[in-house]
Amino acid sequence: MRLILASASPRRLDLLKQIGVTPDAVDPADIDETPRKDEPPARYAARVAAEKGAAVAERHPGALILSGDTIVAAGRRILPKAETVQDARMCLELLSGRRHRVLSAVTLIAPDGKARHRLSESIVTFKRLHPDEIDAYIASGEWEGKAGGYAIQGRAAGLIRTIQGSHPGIMGLPLYEVRTLLLAVGYPCD
Ligand SMILES: Cc1cn([C@H]2C[C@H](O)[C@@H](COP(=O)(O)OP(=O)(O)OP(=O)(O)O)O2)c(=O)[nH]c1=O
């Protein structure tokens, strides 16, 4: 069974390899990721993961397609993927000293076209951030392209008091859910 990873994220590829799975090809989806008006965070993440998979499935008939989407939600608010210093600062000030959710959705489309979905939810608590800590984090550049303006796999780990949930999910691919989906379609994982 050919497995296609529908993602431009090198982290997703590395995470997949962590459980011994190497896709036959990587083919990123290029879709509009704008949230709909009042779209709840979990529904948004699930929709985007499904849309990424569907877009890529069209190009690979008969293959297995794995896609994902990871977002940071503060209450009902979906934080942006930080592209500018201003984005990153806004996110970090909002996340400072409080809990937020990281929602990581995955979709697996089987060769027969049937799509299976899983959602991983994690709770992350940042310490109260001193302005100097925010400045130093921004200077690191690690926030660039990251949902919610931080990456737990880097120096932000030193600013996070607790996590509850899935560490790989927070990084971009919830590996327990992925393995469960792959096994459900008969893809060998062990
Ligand atoms: C919260 C958090 C997010 N992220 C990343 C994971 C995702 O790459 C990114 C969220 O963007 P996504 O849209 O999920 O993924 P992507 O744009 O990197 O790749 P593609 O759409 O092609 O699959 O934020 C971290 O790396 N670490 C973290 O701690």
Look at residue 189 and tell me if it is in a domain: no
Look at residue 180 and tell me if it is in a domain: yes
pLDDT score at 190: 82
Q: Ligand 1, atom 20: nearest CA belongs to which residue?
A: 7
- Token pair recorded at residue 134: 């925010």
Q: Which domain holds residue 74?
A: 3-184
Look at residue 43 and tell me if it is in a domain: yes
Q: Please pick, among 30, 69, 87, 112, the residue that the annotation labels catalytic.
A: 69
CATH number at residue 11: 3.90.950.10
Look at residue 190 and tell me if it is in a domain: no
For 134-173, the pLDDT digits (tens) are 999 999 999 999 999 999 999 999 999 999 999 999 999 9
69 is catalytic: yes
pTM over 0.90: yes
Residue 47 confidence class, pLDDT cut points 50, 70, 90: very high
Q: List residues near ligand 1 (CB under 6 A).
A: 7-9, 11-12, 28, 68-70, 72, 81, 102, 146-148, 150-153, 170-172
Look at residue 22 and tell me if it is in a domain: yes
Name residue 104's amino acid: S
Complex confidence, ipTM = 0.91
For residue 173, the CA-to-ligand 1 centroid distance in Å is: 9
Q: What is the mean pLDDT of residues 109-119?
A: 97
Look at residue 38 and tell me if it is in a domain: yes
pLDDT score at 89: 98
Domain count, the chain: 1
